[in-house]
Amino acid sequence: MSPIEELSNEPQANPEPLTINSPETPFPVRTKPKDQDASTTPSLPSAMDSVRSHSADEIVQMMKKTPLFMTNLEDGGNDDDNEENIQLEALRALQYEGTRREIALGFKERGNEMVAEKRWKDAKEFYTKGILTLKAPQKEVVGDKPASADEEAEEKKVEEACYINRALCNLELQNYRSTLHDTRHTLLLTPTSHKALYRSALALLHLSRHAPALDATTRGLALTSLTPKEPPSASHTAFVTLHEHILSAQRLAAVSAAKRASAAEHKRKEQLALTAALQARGIKLRVSERPPDLEDAVVSLRPDPESPTSALHFPVLVLYPEAGGSDFVKQVAETERWGDVLSLVLGGGGGPGEGEGVEYTPEGVESFAETREGGL
């Protein structure tokens, strides 16, 4: 290798560009070393130069570290020089400022705002954050006293509100089992919560669990029971309406279940009668792995499908080997004569040869039937 080649293959040591921060530019400016800045092109304004100094991905990452564009408070900050981002720290302190109850209460109120706008998924997320906040350990602050009984009671109220409101969101989102989960937690906190009983009954109704739904409305009616002099409350009226609706749905479900059971029993008896009739006649059926859909063209007993003494009816396929055609008869009774069937199929000069100089008549054809052994 020549000295020139050795020199050309050596890696060139490029000095690192300098980064300059300025309040007049949106991003830090990367300056070029003096030996690389020999161009006679006029320099750009500082704001434009700060943008041209970085790639698009770098600009996006820097924007995400500013409070206006960030999507996660934990991802903010300046990782290059560890400078303190005062605005970011203020937002973090604002997000988690206060006691555990106060933070959860903030999440609950945000959830209530989402409910007012019928943004059920967003509301559910806020209520979930409130519940998780109350389950987290209390922040230890120097000089703070342990939580008092009053503070614990207030936390319990917030937790109950988050659970029962999240149950509403799950109900609107048709997450009925999740609704039952939330109402169950609510009733553990407050056994007399008529909202939990009402939403639980609604979820159970949608799941067709009528007996526990009626139990929930019965308990709700007892909680909202009236004295003779009191006018009916809105809660009591709602429970009465829901209770009657569940009773009606239960009756309809019972009728439908009885119909299904009766149909299944009739089908079972028909199958037993058909099996007995085939055995008595010495007929064996061959079943295909993928039978075609023949609708009502099946082997059956008529007029009484549950009586083995009824006449056996079966579909018949008529083949015309010479003409390459066929006819299909859905139902032929075992008491019918084959000549009557041919008259039905070939009557009036019918058959596959019609219009081609070939005429099929009942008297002019020979018929063959396949035997059990496969012969004719």
Band the pLDDT of 320: cuts 50, 70, 90: confident
Residue 256 scores a pLDDT above 50:
yes
Task: Report the pLDDT value the prediction gives residue 138, as an integer from 0 to 100.
Answer: 66
Instruction: State how far Cα 182 lies from the chain centre.
Output: 19
For residue 53, pLDDT over 90 is answered with no
User: H or E element: which one contains 86?
Assistant: helix 86-95
pLDDT at 166: 97
What are the pLDDT digits (tens) for 66-109? 656 666 655 555 444 444 455 555 555 455 567 888 899 999 99
Angle at CA 40, nearest 5°, toward 39 and 41? 90
What string of DSSP letters covers 97-111? -S-HHHHHHHHHHHH
Per-residue pLDDT at 268 exceeds 80: yes
Write the DSSP string, 313-324. Answer: EEEEEEEETTTT
> What pLDDT score does 317 carry?
86
- pLDDT value of position 47: 66
Which carries the bigger pLDDT value, residue 52 or residue 207?
A: 207
Indicate yes or no: pTM above 0.85.
no
Tokens of 216: 């929930």
Q: What is the mean pLDDT of the chain?
A: 79
19 pLDDT above the threshold of 60: no
Q: Which pLDDT band holds residue 111 (cuts at 50, 70, 90)?
A: very high
pLDDT at 314 over 70: yes
What pLDDT is stored for residue 173 in this prediction? Answer: 96
Could you report the per-residue pLDDT of 291-302, keeping only the tens digit for each?
A: 778 788 889 999
Beta carbons of 312 and 277 less than 8 angstroms apart: yes
Residue 343: predicted pLDDT: 84
Q: Give one DSSP letter per residue of 161-184, joined into a string.
A: HHHHHHHHHHHHTT-HHHHHHHHH
Say what the pLDDT of residue 3 is: 41
Question: Does residue 248 have a pLDDT over 50?
Answer: yes
Q: Residue 294: what are its φ and ψ, rounded to 5°?
A: -105, 10
**Dist CA 49 CA 80 (whole Å):** 20
| 327 membership: H or E segment, kind and range | strand 325-333
Q: What percent of the chain has pLDDT over 90?
A: 40
CA–CA gap between residue 95 and residue 106 (Å, rounded) = 9
Crossing angle of helices 234-281 and 210-223, in 10° steps, is 160
Distance CA(305)–CA(311), nearest Å, equals: 9
Please give the pLDDT value at position 282: 85
pLDDT in tens, 332-353: 998 888 888 888 888 765 566 5
**Alpha-carbon distance 17 to 354, whole Å?**
95
Question: Looking at residue 8, what is its pLDDT?
Answer: 40
Q: pLDDT tens digit string along 121-171?
A: 999 999 999 999 998 776 544 344 555 778 888 999 999 999 999 999 999
Given a contact cutoff of 8 angstroms between Cβ atoms, the answer to whether 132 and 164 are in contact is no
User: Does 47 or 362 have the greater pLDDT score?
Assistant: 362
Q: What is the pLDDT of residues 321-335, one digit of tens each?
A: 777 788 888 889 988
The answer to which of 8-12, 131-135, 170-174, 261-265 has the lowest mean pLDDT is 8-12
Are the beta carbons of 361 and 352 closer than 8 angstroms?
no
